[in-house]
Amino acid sequence: MRDVCVLGLGLIGGSVLRAAVAAGVPAWGASGTSSAAAATADGYDVDTTAGALRRAADRDALVVLAVPLTATEQVLRQIAAVAPRCRLTDVVSVKAPVADLVRRLLPDARYVGGHPMAGTAESGWPAGSATLFRDAAWVVLTENHLDGELREVWLDVVQLALDTGAHVVPVSAADHDAAVARISHLPHVLAAVLASVGADGGPLALALAAGSFADATRVAGTNPELVRAMCEGNRSELLAAVDDTLGRLGAARGALASTGSLRATLHDGHRGRLALDAARAANRKRLDVELAAEGAFTQLAELGGRGGRIVALDGSIAAVDVPA
Segment 117 to 176, residues that bind its own copies, using CB under 8 A: 117-120, 136-137, 139, 169, 171, 175-176
Nearer to its own copies, 34 or 196 (CB): 196
Tell the smallest beta-carbon distance from residue 139 to its own copies (Å): 7
CB of 180 to its own copies, least distance (A): 6
Question: Three-state SS across the chain?
Answer: CCCEEEECCCHHHHHHHHHHHHCCCCEEEECCCCHHHHHHHCCCCECCHHHHHHHHHHHCCEEEECCCHHHHHHHHHHHHHHCCCCEEEECCCCCHHHHHHHHHHCCCCEECCEEECCCCCCCCHHHCCCCCCCCCEEEEECCCCCCHHHHHHHHHHHHHHHHCCCEEEEECHHHHHHHHHHHHHHHHHHHHHHHHHHHCCHHHHHHHCCHHHHHHCHHHHCCHHHHHHHHHCCHHHHHHHHHHHHHHHHHHHHHHHHCCCCHHHHHHHHHHHHHHHHHHHCCEEEEEEECCCCCHHHHHHHHHHCCCEEEEEECCEEEEEEEC
C-beta of 30 vs 289, nearer to its own copies = 289
Give 109 or 112: the residue with its C-beta nearer to its own copies: 112
What number of chain residues touch its own copies (CB under 8 A)?
101
Question: Mask 26-65, x = binds its own copies (CB under 8 A)?
Answer: ----------------------------------------
Please, what is the minimum distance in Å from the beta carbon of residue 64 to its own copies? 19
Distance CA 149, CA 119 (A): 31
What's the closest the beta carbon of residue 96 comes to its own copies, in angstroms?
Answer: 14
Q: How far is the CB of 44 from its own copies (least distance, A)?
A: 25
Q: Which parts of 183-242 interact with its own copies (CB under 8 A)?
A: 183-184, 186-224, 227-228, 231-232, 235, 238-239, 241-242
Q: Which is nearer to its own copies, 207 or 292 (CB)?
A: 207
Residue whose CB is less far from its own copies, 84 or 187: 187
Residue in 48, 144, 261, 316 binding its own copies, rule: CB under 8 A: 261
In one letter, which amino acid is 85?
R
By CB under 8 A, residue 258 contacts its own copies: no
User: Rounded to whole angstroms, how far apart are CA atoms 142 and 298?
Assistant: 8
Span 296-315, contacts to its own copies by CB under 8 A? 304-307, 309
Please state, in angstroms and rounded to a whole number, the distance separating the CA atoms of residues 185 and 318.
30
Provide, rounded to whole angstroms, the least separation between the CB of residue 210 and its own copies. Answer: 4
Q: Beta strand pairing status for 309-314 and 317-323?
A: antiparallel
- Tell me whether residue 77 or residue 267 sits nearer to its own copies (CB atom): 267
Smallest gap, in angstroms, from Cβ of residue 238 to its own copies?
7
CB of 229 to its own copies, least distance (A): 10
